[in-house]
Amino acid sequence: MKEFLHKIAQELLLNSGQYAVFYILMNFSKDGSLYFANFGHVILLIALAIQTLFLIKFGSIPKMRFFGSLIAPFVYTLVELPEGPTALLNTAHVLFWTFSLITAGIQSGTLLTKNLKIKKIYEVTLVMINVLIFLCIYLYFDLYMLYNDEVIAGTMTSIEMKEQLEFYNLGKGMVELIKDATHIYILLAGLLMGSAIAWSRVQVIALKDKIHEAFGEYVDTKIRDKILSKNSISERKKVTILFSDIRGFTGLSEKHTPEQIISVLNTCFSAWDNYAKKNEGIIDKFIGDAVMIIFDDSKNATSCANEFLSNLSSLNNTLSKKSLPVISVGVGIHTGIAIAGTIGSTSRKNYTFIGDAVNVASRLESLCKEYNCPLIISEEVFKELSNKKQFNKLNNIILRGRKKSTSIYGLKG
């Protein structure tokens, strides 16, 4: 609930609702409780609520962000249409559309770009636009009250007041307002405060980018984004799990220096990372000399394994040139239901996949040495493959922890 309220506040005050909020505050300040007696104002409140909820749910999609930000002005325009073109040319109405379009464009652009400098420019522009919204509403309100006093005094008619508040007649009234020292102070102070807020927001963006970059070096970027989005709730899902480790790693560790072993591991894991990304896999974790990769599709998992094994001789050539030991690996792949979620203590957590499917993949990998085969897949994976000819049936076995036997298949030599 707390997070939901935070999103509402962020949407209203920082993202898409600023103009509508300030406009509603202006009218409420003017009309008091009578504000709710105005049908158009009530509809604007409802439209703003719908827009806010829509953008909370879909606002991370650029197109949805752009068009969703126009819900409130669009609905308000429909309500004002019966009053004729005069209402649509009212300065407040024109500014509503102008600022909504600009804000929608900036925020959509922010979602589309990955360039940090452009994001900073967008953020500064958006903050200054928000300040400008406040200043424009303030000056418009002051001008409205000034003309309203003239109507009360009988020096101006209501029709003339409406005409003076139309967008194309606004210039003269604004010039007169700006001559007031109080208004000059409000304008300069608002711009100064906006600059300070914009600077702090840019610093936050830079810090977040550094956190994302550093975090991405320790966990897969897809997992990182899921964790940082705070949407990393536990879930059961069907996945394909690839497990691999280096054969005879203990012996290698005893015969070579720590620096050499680390270099071998980094070279091996970099290759796995490359092929995992190419085949839409997510590296869940590195465990000593082992790697665990998650795929949504069994075909992608076997393709990843095949690419790694096909290029293993090239990887070993690279290691030999660096006077490092060559390696051989075993790979096990299984498809099944796993639990994905954040686990750990209150001070340290890890987003990972657990369950029987993970255990089976690990056991299949451990069978590679016994069957002298670099890649073993389960029957569940085999059934989903279109190219089954590249695998031979090895045996029917009962995996530890299971009662029924299952077929396992090995990559042809």
Convert the pLDDT of each residue in 104-119 to its tens digit: 999 999 888 877 778 7
Q: Is the pLDDT of residue 376 over 70?
A: yes
Q: Where are the domains of the chain?
A: 2-215, 225-411
Tokens linked to 321: 């040139």
CA–chain centroid gap for 45, Å, is: 28
Least confident of 165-169, 255-259, 303-307: 165-169
Which DSSP string do the residues of 179-243 spell out, in sequence order? TSHHHHHHHHHHHHHHHHHHHHHHHHHHHHHHHHHHHTTTS-HHHHHHHHTT----EEEEEEEEE
- 248-254 average pLDDT score: 89
Contact 129, 106 (CB under 8 A): yes
- 41-57 average pLDDT score: 91
Helices 71-80 & 91-112 angle (0-180, nearest 10): 160
- 132-155 average pLDDT score: 84
pLDDT at 371: 92
> Measured on CA atoms in the order 332, 336, 337, 340, is the torsion positive or negative?
positive
Q: What share of the chain has pLDDT > 90, as a percent?
A: 35
CA distances from 189 to 13, 132, 175, 198 (A): 19, 12, 18, 14
Q: Distance between CA atoms of 22 and 133, rounded to whole angstroms?
A: 8
More confident residue, 26 or 173: 26
More confident residue, 184 or 87: 184
Tokens linked to 50: 């719908």
Helices 181-215 & 170-178 angle (0-180, nearest 10): 100
Contact 362, 284 (CB under 8 A): no
pLDDT digits (tens, 9 = 90+) for 319-358: 999 999 999 999 999 999 988 887 778 777 777 888 888 9
Q: Is the pLDDT of residue 227 over 50?
A: no
Least confident of 88-97, 174-183, 217-226, 280-289: 217-226
Q: Alpha helix locations (H) across 256-355?
A: 258-278, 298-310, 312-321
pLDDT digits (tens, 9 = 90+) for 343-354: 778 777 777 888
CA–chain centroid gap for 216, Å, is: 14
DSSP code of residue 23 = H
Count of Cβ atoms closer than 10 Å to residue 35 Cβ: 16
Q: Distance between CA atoms of 11 and 123, rounded to whole angstroms?
A: 15
What single letter denotes the amino acid at residue 165? L
> Could you tell me the CATH superfamily of domain 225-411?
Nucleotide cyclase, GGDEF domain (3.30.70.1230)
Q: Distance between CA atoms of 364 and 377, rounded to whole angstroms?
A: 7
pLDDT at 113: 85
> Measured on CA atoms in the order 206, 347, 228, 230, is the torsion positive or negative?
negative
Q: What angle do CA 46, 50, 54 make, to 5 degrees?
A: 170
What single letter denotes the amino acid at residue 63? K
Q: Is the pLDDT of residue 314 over 60?
A: yes
pLDDT digits (tens, 9 = 90+) for 163-193: 777 777 766 767 766 777 877 887 788 778 7
First to last CA, the chain: 57
Q: Distance between CA atoms of 195 and 201, rounded to whole angstroms?
A: 10
- Highest-scoring range by mean pLDDT, 20-24, 86-90, 230-234: 20-24
Q: Which of 134, 132, 131, 138 is nearest to 180 (CA)?
A: 138
Q: Which of 166, 64, 203, 270 is nearest to 174 (CA)?
A: 166
Q: Is the pLDDT of residue 231 over 60?
A: no
Contact 400, 386 (CB under 8 A): no
Contact 72, 48 (CB under 8 A): yes
CA–chain centroid gap for 80, Å, is: 36
Contact 137, 98 (CB under 8 A): no
- 145-157 average pLDDT score: 86
Q: What average pLDDT is seen over the chain? A: 84
